Every structure is written in structure tokens, then in C-alpha cells.
Amino acid sequence: MTKQEYTISVFTENQIGLLNRITTIFSRRKINIDSFNTSPSEIDSVYRITIVINETEEVVRKLCRQIEKQVEILKAYYNTADEIVWQELALYKVPTDVIAAEVKVERLLRQYGANTVVIRKDFTVFEVAGHREETEALIKVLEPYGLIEFVRSARVAIIKASDGFHKKLQEFEYKEPGEEAVENVFLNDHEKVFSM
């Protein structure tokens, strides 16, 4: 099996020490995490952790099972890039005098969909949301104009074929006790589900 990029979405309660336990699962297997993000989900008190790695599907499946063994984990899903909608946010800090003097820089920023966040006498900060290739392309464009600083956020992602975790949570709550969990069933052709 060949390695490819997978996005793992983990739905969890917010507990102290959980992030450390999850990252330990990856470090023990010597798996590098390309992106790691935590955020609230559509459900109160349920958080979503988004992890991006390059691995084989077999390894990713085992990782999801291991993650789900943590008490606070409600569910873990994995998806390929074409099964999700995702974005990253990037910030660029450039000298204000260059932006004011160079009309073509302003045109380039419009071309890349950059929005102004802060304008000061000494620097201006722009933001761009997009895929990594898009945000990295703007770095190369701004470097000749004195790019001072650059930072990119972790990935945020939504599963295309999902009805939302709220609906899944309701389904789990209505299951009869002792009902057998289904392993690696494909829902809506793309959503991969593991036993709880």
C-alpha cells in the first residue's frame, strides 16, 4: 500500500491531558503530524480535532481504532483530500511603504484574494484562506517585496458526505445496549466509521 494524505477528524469531550495522549499515539509509531487543529463542533461540549498525516490506509485505520480507545473520544473518522472540504489561513507581514509604492503588489494581493488585517506605518498584514499550495505561492510572490513574516494555521475540514456529527451522536444514543458495533462501514460512500 502506498502512503497518501489523510485527514483524521476526532470528536471528543474537552478533557485535560487528552491532546497529549493523542499525540503520544502518533509519536510511539514514529508518525509525523503535518497539521493539528482543535475547535468546538456544532454540538455544545463536543470538540473536533483535525489531524493531517501521510500514511497508508491500513496504518490510518489502526490509528483511528487506537484513538477511539481513549475514554473521552466519541468517534474518529478518516478521509482523503477529495472526500473533504478544507482550508488553511495564512498571514503575511510586509513593509507598508512597499505596498504603498508598488501598485503591482496591490494587484497581486487582489489576484490571490488577500484581505488587509492591519495597516501601520511600518508594516501591513494580509490574510489569505486556501489550500497550502495557494498560500505558499503568495510567499514566493511577496519575498522580492520584503516579506517580513509569514504564518499558516492548521487545517480545518468538513467531510463532504457527512450529515454532521449531531445526527450520528443521536443515532449512537438510541442504539440498544449490547448491539454490535459495525467496523469500517462506508456511509454515504465516503464516510469511514469505526466501532466505538
Q: Pick left, alpha or beta for residue 81 (phi over 0 → left; psi -120 to 50 → alpha; otherwise beta).
A: alpha
Q: Report the relative pairing of strands 123-130 and 115-119 from DSSP bridges.
A: antiparallel
Q: Is pLDDT at 186 greater than 80 in this prediction?
A: no
Of the pLDDT bands very low, low, confident and very high (cuts 50, 70, 90), residue 175 is low
Q: Is pLDDT at 103 greater than 90 in this prediction?
A: no
Q: Pick left, alpha or beta for residue 70 (phi over 0 → left; psi -120 to 50 → alpha; otherwise beta).
A: beta
Q: Is pLDDT at 152 greater than 90 in this prediction?
A: yes
Of the pLDDT bands very low, low, confident and very high (cuts 50, 70, 90), residue 110 is confident
- Domains in the chain, ordered, with CATH? 4-84+157-193 (3.30.70.260), 86-152 (3.30.70.1150)
Tens digit of each residue's pLDDT (9 = 90 or more) over 23-77: 999 999 999 999 999 999 888 888 999 999 999 999 999 999 999 998 889 999 9
Task: Please give the model's pTM, rounded to 2 decimal places.
Answer: 0.79
Of the pLDDT bands very low, low, confident and very high (cuts 50, 70, 90), residue 101 is confident
Q: Is pLDDT at 180 greater than 50 in this prediction?
A: no
Q: Is pLDDT at 127 greater than 50 in this prediction?
A: yes
Of the pLDDT bands very low, low, confident and very high (cuts 50, 70, 90), residue 107 is confident
